Amino acid sequence: MQRHQHDGLAWYTFSGPGRRLRHALLTRSGGVSEGAFASLNLGRTVGDAPAAVAENHHRVRAVFGLSREQLVSPHQVHGQRVARVGRADGGSIIPATDALITAEPGVALLLRFADCVPVLFYDATHGAVALAHAGWQGAAAGVVPATIRALAEAFGSRPGDLWAGIGPAIGPEDYAVGVEVIAALAATLPPGAQVAEQRAGQWYLDLPGAVAAQLAAAGVGRIESSELYTAGHTAEWYSHRAEQGRTGRFGVLVMLAT
């Protein structure tokens, strides 16, 4: 991973996918939001001042040279719906959707996170990208394989041609869950996948590890993990779990270079 900084904003990039995939795992630094939302909160539905959120979005667009009409975001609902988007969708919010795919250069996909797993996809052979939001509910519902299927159906992408990046998310040391969560995810994983550990009578889930297992089971050719964790590093990332539900959302951007 590489860390970058410009005009107060800080973000990370993966090293593996190549230059045509423009992407940024934005930290919470460089915005104007205050209090629990400090500072680059990009979530409009978490209780932050609308003017602050609008200014934060403006700062992101300015740093990456994007217009409002280039950005497409979904209203994320912890499901498995995948939407194909293009220039005609620029500036819009796609209802009830947790993954976006596109093969149109210059269309920027923006999703928001605060413990759930950002999953980036790039198909260099067919010139396609995707970005998925995988909390435990979305992962159990199948948003990861659904995104891979959508890329195949829309653009002819083969799993073996895909690069996938696993972004910052809650880590296995911090994610205490009930047995029902473990059972729901276990049903989606290949035999032998170990993504949960019991310590002192409490189960802890490795959600990024579960996503990685799903990607591998689907035959994804290259999987790169950021190994960045949110709950233990709230100076850099928002964490719904660590901050007791009152916090912002950091952004992840993905687009094909023009």
Q: Which residues of 13-38 are buried (b: 16+ CB within 10 A; e: fewer)?
A: bbeebeeebbbbbbbbbbbbbeebbb
| pTM for the structure as a whole | 0.98
Range 96-100 average pLDDT: 98
pLDDT at 222 over 90: yes
Residue 36's pLDDT is what? 98
3-state helix, strand, coil in the chain (%, to 5): 25, 30, 45
**Cα–Cα distance list, 214 to 26, 182, 202 (Å):** 25, 14, 24
Under CATH, to which class is 2-170+215-256 assigned? Answer: alpha beta
Q: Which pLDDT tens digit goes with each residue over 106-137?
A: 999 999 999 999 999 999 999 999 999 999 99
Residue 19's pLDDT is what? 85
Residue 250's pLDDT is what? 99
CB 74 within 8 A of CB 111: yes
Pairing verdict, β 108-113 and 71-74: parallel
Residue 77's pLDDT is what? 98
Is residue 5 within a helix (H) or strand (E), and if so which, with residue range? strand 2-6
**30 contact partners, CB below 8 Å, separation of at least 6:** 7, 8, 9, 10, 39, 40, 59
Q: Which pLDDT tens digit goes with each residue over 26-79?
A: 999 999 999 999 999 999 999 999 999 999 999 999 999 999 999 999 999 999
Query: Residue 95: pLDDT band by 50, 70, 90 thresholds?
Result: very high
Strand segments (E) across 75-173: 82-84, 93-94, 99-102, 108-113, 117-123, 128-134, 162-166
Residue 258's pLDDT is what? 85
Length, in residues, of the chain: 258
Range 224-244 average pLDDT: 98
CB 124 within 8 A of CB 163: yes
